[in-house]
Chains A and B, each alone.
Chain A
Amino acid sequence: MKHFRFLVLAILLAGYASAMAVGLEVFDFSGNVDEHRYKHLIAELRCLVCQNQSLADSDAGLAHDLRREVWELMDQGKSDAQVTEYLVARYGDFVLYNPPVKPSTYILWYGPFALLAIGLLVLIHTLRRRSRQTESGFSAEEQERLQKILGTEKPDRD
Chain B
Amino acid sequence: MPRFVRYLAPLVAFIALAGLLYKGLSLDPRHLPSPLIDKPAPAFSLPLLQQPETLISNADFKGQVTLFNVWATWCVACRQEHPLLMQLAKQGVPIYGLNYKDKRDDAKRWLQMYGNPYLANAFDAEGRTGIDWGVYGTPETFVVDKQGIIRFKHIGPLTNDSIKRDILPLLKQLQESDG
Contacts and interface: CB of A to CB of B under 8 A. Distances in A.
Contacts of B32: 48, 91-92, 94
A48 B34 CA distance: 12
B83 interface: no
Interface in A26-50: 48-49
B101 A61 contact: yes
Contacts of B36: 90
Contacts, number: 38
Contacts of A88: 35
A51 B36 CA distance: 20
B113 interface: no
| Consensus secondary structure, chain A interface | helix
Interface residues of B, number: 19
Interface residues of A, number: 14
A65 interface: yes
A62 interface: yes
A74 interface: no
B35 A69 contact: no
Contact of B34 (A62, A65, A69, A92): A92
Contacts of A62: 127, 136
B134 interface: yes
Given A92-B32, A92-B134, 6 more contacts: A49-B137, A51-B29, A90-B131, A92-B33, A92-B35, A94-B32
